[in-house]
Amino acid sequence: MQRKTKAWVCVDKHKLGTWRQAEALACSWLKTYERKPICLPIWCRWMPPIIFKFLPDFLKKMSVHELGREVPEIIIAAGRQAILVALAFRESAKTVILMNPGVSTKNFDVVIAPVHDNITGENVVITEGALHGIKNRQLVFPGYLKNYSKPRIAVLLGGNSIHGDYQEHLAIKMADDLKTLLNVNPNFMGGSLIITPSRRTPPSWLKIFEKNLKGISYWIWDQKSENPYPDLLKGVDAIVVCQDSISMASEACITGKLVLIYPTGIKKSKFNVFYQQLFAKGYAQPFSINAALKNSPVLNELDKVVTVLEKMKILAT
3 state SS of 124 = strand
- What's the pLDDT score for residue 5? 64
Short-list 90, 33, 97, 99, CA closest to 64? 90
Residue 297 lies in a domain: no
Is the same domain home to 176 and 72?
no
List phi, psi (to 5°) of 232: -65, -20
Residue 192 lies in a domain: yes
Is the same domain home to 176 and 307?
no
Is the same domain home to 114 and 140?
no
Is the same domain home to 110 and 152?
no
Tell me, what CATH number does 279's domain have? Answer: 3.40.50.2000
Q: State how far the Cα of 163 lies from the Cα of 184, in Å rounded to an integer.
A: 32
Average pLDDT over all residues of the chain: 93
Tell me, what CATH number does 22's domain have? Answer: 3.40.50
Is the same domain home to 154 and 250?
yes
Distances 33 to 25, 28, 69, 90, 250 between C-alpha atoms, Å: 11, 11, 16, 18, 24
Residue 296 lies in a domain: no
In the chain, the percentage of residues whose pLDDT exceeds 90 is 84
Q: State how far the Cα of 12 lies from the Cα of 78, in Å rounded to an integer.
A: 7
Q: Contact 251/267 with Cβ under 8 angstroms?
A: no
Residue 292 lies in a domain: no
DSSP 273: H
Tell me the average pLDDT across 107-136: 94
Residue ranges making up the domain that contains 110: 7-128+302-316
Is the same domain home to 212 and 91?
no
Is the same domain home to 83 and 197?
no
Is the same domain home to 208 and 82?
no
Is the same domain home to 85 and 160?
no
Residue 58 lies in a domain: yes
Residue 235 lies in a domain: yes
Is the same domain home to 92 and 150?
no
| pTM given for the model | 0.90
- What's the pLDDT score for residue 304? 94
b/e string for 128-157 if b means 16 or more Cβ within 10 A?
bbbbbbbeeeeeebeeebeebeebbbbbbb
Residue 295 lies in a domain: no
- What's the pLDDT score for residue 313? 84
Q: State how far the Cα of 169 lies from the Cα of 151, in Å rounded to an integer.
A: 27
Q: Contact 244/158 with Cβ under 8 angstroms?
A: yes
Domain total for the chain? 2
Cα 147–chain centre separation: 30
Short-list 221, 203, 208, CA closest to 156? 221
Residue 141 lies in a domain: yes
Indicate the pLDDT class of residue 316, thresholds 50, 70 and 90. low
Is the same domain home to 161 and 230?
yes
Q: State how far the Cα of 194 lies from the Cα of 257, in Å rounded to an integer.
A: 15
Is the same domain home to 159 and 92?
no
pLDDT of residue 1 exceeding 70, the answer is no
